[in-house]
Amino acid sequence: MRPEVRDAQLSLIISRQQDGGLGSDPVAYDIGEGLSAVLVVKAESRRRGGSHEAMTVAQHAAAQWGADPGALWQRALANMRQDKLNIRAFDTNVGVKMHVVNGTGWPAVGQALRVEEVLGTSLPNGAIVTLPTNNSFIALPIQSRQALNMIPFMVQTSRQLMKGDPAPMSDGVFWYSRGRLESMGVTLKSDQDFSMRFSGTFKQMLDSLPQG
């Protein structure tokens, strides 16, 4: 495959680690909850219908190409602007809209790595994100601490979307910030109560937020 053809097919996916298939040295990182963000090359499937399949990009392959993995990652993000998405926005009681995003071709869950572009808005504090299926994600911009009140509802919505879906992902909750996802370590205790185990970076952001 010529480099220009290969680079045009670069994309990002979120993959369940239990499914395997990433190889020993993928260009990827662990986002928590048993999931990884992974650099892939799209490949036309030989299966009937011509759907796409993904081939993981290995670190050693990038080295053989003489390519910087970070540059390949950024090219993948740029390529993903061409993917067709269905974006629905729902009013909430915390003053910001909750967005549900689905793909109409290539699976959309990897688009959660570029939430700002997908939603068309600046997210200085990031967003709360769930990844219920291979073809969907839910995002809620963080403008105040009140955004945390939506976590139980987002988890419950994710669980509903996972039921019966052929490619369920996770009911975990993530923080999107500057092109990266990390687990917020959420455990739902009841319909309204939950606990979190989060990073120092998230705590620093949280401490800077207004209460209302």
pLDDT per residue over 87-108, tens digit each?
Answer: 999 999 999 999 999 998 889 9
- For 13, the token pair is 């996916």
Instruction: Give the start-to-end residue ranges of the domains of the chain.
Output: 3-81, 83-207
Distances (CA, A) of 93 to 12, 90, 142, 148: 33, 10, 13, 11
Across 172-210, b (16+ Cβ under 10 Å) vs e yields bbbbbbeeebbbbbbebeeeeebebebeeebeebbeeee
pLDDT for residue 50 is more than 60 = no
Classified as helix, coil or strand, 163 is coil
> What does pTM read for this prediction?
0.93
pLDDT in tens, 25-47: 999 999 999 999 999 999 865 55
DSSP codes joined into one string, 43-88: EE-SSTT--EEEEEPBHHHHHHHT--HHHHHHHHHHHGGGS-EEEE
- pLDDT band for 21, please (50, 70, 90 cuts): confident
CA distances 127 to 51, 150, 170, Å, are: 31, 12, 17
- Tokens for 173? 């909750």
- Band of the pLDDT at 3, cuts 50, 70, 90? confident
pLDDT at 46: 53
